[in-house]
Amino acid sequence: MGWIGKHSNLITRDYGSWLFLGEILTEAKLTPDRPHPPHCGTCTRCLEACPTQAIPEPFVVDANRCIAYHTIENRQATLPAEIAPALQGWVAGCDICQDVCPWNQRFAQETDIADFQPYPWHLNTKLTDLATLTPEERDRRFPASALRRISLAMLQRNAKAALRGIDGLEQVEKVTPPKIQHHRHGPRLPPLGEYPSE
Ligand code: SF4
Ligand code: SF4
């Protein structure tokens, strides 16, 4: 399919690294493909762009320093002191090392599968909304969403940390949309008329 990039994600020639990987379990005898040659070359963009230096060397991601790990998997009440100020608006995952990858910049393709599109109301969400989200609002805004892996307390923690990270900026910038990896799974989108009104 492709090769493992220096940011440790699979990269393909046709789509870059923004892929949805599937798996088939079978007893059929299959001839494996030859390993794909790597095509990172001398590029080190992902290592240099990571705001928390979570890629200390090619192919090594230190989860203890990774924003994606801390915003999604870290269940502690607070984020580590060295991570919280570096969120750059991210509250669910982080795509910086993939954003800067030339294979994504050149070959990434937007999906035409409706189930992989973000809920429309997420596109208008503000950091301040998430920092004060109620359980009822979470249920309404995150139905059938992979983002439910992030508990309400974690989402509020992440949003508050992101807000503190931009504390020195103007108020208007505090209400800019949070950055969320919009990968969603579950039932198909509800009909348009059933979207929560914003
Ligand atoms: S996901 Fe973000 S924090 Fe993690 S390695 Fe990539 S750029 Fe660094
Ligand atoms: S940014 Fe450069 S080094 Fe990193 S995965 Fe992409 S091509 Fe490889």
- Digit-by-digit pLDDT tens for the chain (198 residues) are 999 999 999 999 999 999 988 999 999 999 999 999 999 999 999 999 999 999 999 999 999 999 999 999 999 999 999 999 999 999 999 999 999 999 999 999 988 988 888 888 888 788 999 999 999 999 998 887 888 899 999 999 999 999 987 654 444 444 555 666 654 333 333 333 333 332
68 within domain boundaries: yes
23 within domain boundaries: no
Ligand nearest to the backbone CA of 181: 1
Q: Which domain holds residue 175?
A: 3-18+42-194
The number of the ligand 2 atom at minimal distance from the alpha carbon of 97 is 1
pTM of the model: 0.83
List, as one string, the DSSP characters of 148-191.
GGS-HHHHHHHHHHHHHHTTTS-HHHHTSPPEE-----SSPPPP
The number of the ligand 1 atom at minimal distance from the alpha carbon of 55 is 5
24 within domain boundaries: no
Give residues (CB < 6 A) around ligand 1: 7, 50, 52, 54-55, 61, 66-68, 94, 96-97
Ligand 1 centroid – CA 183 distance (Å): 17
Shortest-distance Cα residue to atom 6 of ligand 2? 101
Whether 181 and 159 have beta carbons less than 8 Å apart is answered as: no
Looking at the 3D structure of the chain, how many domains does it have? 1
Whether 44 and 6 have beta carbons less than 8 Å apart is answered as: yes
The number of the ligand 1 atom at minimal distance from the alpha carbon of 61 is 5
134 within domain boundaries: yes
30 within domain boundaries: no
Q: Which two tokens stand for residue 77?
A: 């009440």
122 within domain boundaries: yes
